[in-house]
Amino acid sequence: MFIHTVRPGDTVYKIAQQYGVSAAAIISANVLTNPNSLIIGQPLIIPQTARSHTVVAGDTLYRIAQRYGISLDALLLANPQIVNPNNLQIGQVLQIPWVKWGDIVVNGYAYPSTRSEVLREALPHLTFLSVFSANLQPDGSLIPMDDQRVIALCREYSVQPHMVIANLREDAGFQTGIATAVLQNPAAQNTFLDQAIALMKARGYTGLDLDLEYVRASDRDAYNCLLAKARARLHDEGFVLSAALAAKTSANQPGLLFEGHDYAEHGRYDDYVILMTYDWGYVSGPPMAVAPLQEVRRVVDYAVREIPREKILLGIPNYAYDWTLPYAEGTKAKLVYHPEAILLAARQGAQIKFDEAAQTPYFHYFDAAGKQHVVWFEDARSILAKLELVRQYRLGGVSYWAVNHSFPQNWYVLDAVYQVKKEA
């Protein structure tokens, strides 16, 4: 796999000739609905089994192998013309095979209402599907949702369904009061665990994911106690425990979003932790990348000091925002998705740009009323950069928020560089 950024004058057929692949292969890999309408700056996946590297001063086979994340043996096998591995020539062209970096856990969040065709696109690439399955009440009781269709699809694709429990109300967002009521009441905690385990057994779930957000600092110790109880009871029943954590960069980071999440204790009790490394650019905030890589890296730097690396799943956003400019405080961006963003750029004749620091694409356009907009979204390049971060930090895997909408390029890139673990 190679990622080509469209330049002026490019056509699918010219690009295919350049890389020695068929135009049909490029169209298929990128699910191009209109191959005759490429966008300047648009990334296209080139389905190749090898790429080339031209030797420069200071290169060694070991350094080249490290740069591309492959073994020295794999590099030598792809270049049988190398007679003396210690005597590379400047300007010599080497073939770099696309070798998968290893196997990882892949989680995706979904709702019971997620369309079956979208789930069928995502499920072959997942280890777990975490489904928002029940509404948590202040007394710890659960009101189940109709999730049987989604669970049946998980079984069809050998994906482990996990039940998500959140202090969430569809019309009002995350409710701090619900979290406090449950966490500060041992009877409510027991009710919650009793009903969660019974529901998981009845419906065929294999794990529980806690998505308790906006937890007060005063409830943090109680949350840690719930984790200890949940781990003991779930493990006794053979279930997996995971939790979603706010994107923190220090233990005592201020703010309601962060204060109730104790990375060290979650690392102790959870089987997996999902870092919510997104929403720097958010619906009511100023325009910026949703998951800028430099900020994501800061979170990972802190997380690996507190949590075993193999437990960490890096959050990846499957959504984007369209902001009206100039940004005014109190206004909201429009939520869009990857294929929609590409179609919008094509329709508006926009050029896609790429922020090297954030490793994220964006574009500007003017609407019918003459107002300027900026759209920050994800593409093959930004996804590859995040997957590379997983390799660099030797994390356990990734988690997508969410798999409720199509993103074909993402799944192609993921499968090109990693083998997805399927739990027994």
Q: 45: closest CA among 98, 1, 100?
A: 1
Whether residue 170 is predicted with pLDDT greater than 90 in this model: the reply is no
- CA-based R_g, the chain, Å: 23
Contact predicate 87/38, CB 8 Å: no
Query: CATH top-level class for 2-97?
Result: alpha beta
Q: What is the DSSP letter of 71?
A: -
Check if 213 is active-site.
yes
Average pLDDT of the residues in 174-180: 98
Whether residue 176 is predicted with pLDDT greater than 80 in this model: the reply is yes
| C-alpha dihedral sign at 37, 41, 45, 48 | positive
Bridge partners (DSSP) listed for residue 244:
274
Of the residues 117, 156, 213, 423, only one is catalytic, namely 213
Q: 247: closest CA among 282, 222, 287?
A: 282
Whether residue 274 is predicted with pLDDT greater than 90 in this model: the reply is yes
Mean pLDDT (the chain) is 96
Query: CATH top-level class for 103-327+371-420?
Result: alpha beta
Band (pLDDT 50/70/90 cuts) for residue 70 is confident
Q: Which amino acid is at 182?
A: V
| Measured distance CA(373)–CA(126) in Å, rounded | 34
Contact predicate 2/46, CB 8 Å: yes
Backbone φ and ψ of 78, nearest 5° = -80, -10
pLDDT of residue 68: 85
pLDDT of residue 142: 98
| Measured distance CA(280)–CA(179) in Å, rounded | 24
C-alpha 326 chain-centroid distance: 29
pLDDT of residue 424: 55
| Measured distance CA(269)–CA(225) in Å, rounded | 10
Tokens of 173: 């967002």
| Measured distance CA(27)–CA(31) in Å, rounded | 6
Delimit the domains of the chain by residue range: 2-97, 103-327+371-420
pTM for the structure as a whole: 0.93
Average pLDDT of the residues in 143-154: 97
pLDDT per residue as tens digits for the range 401-410: 999 999 999 9
pLDDT per residue as tens digits for the range 110-132: 999 999 999 999 999 999 999 99
Band (pLDDT 50/70/90 cuts) for residue 99 is confident
Q: 362: closest CA among 370, 371, 351, 372?
A: 351
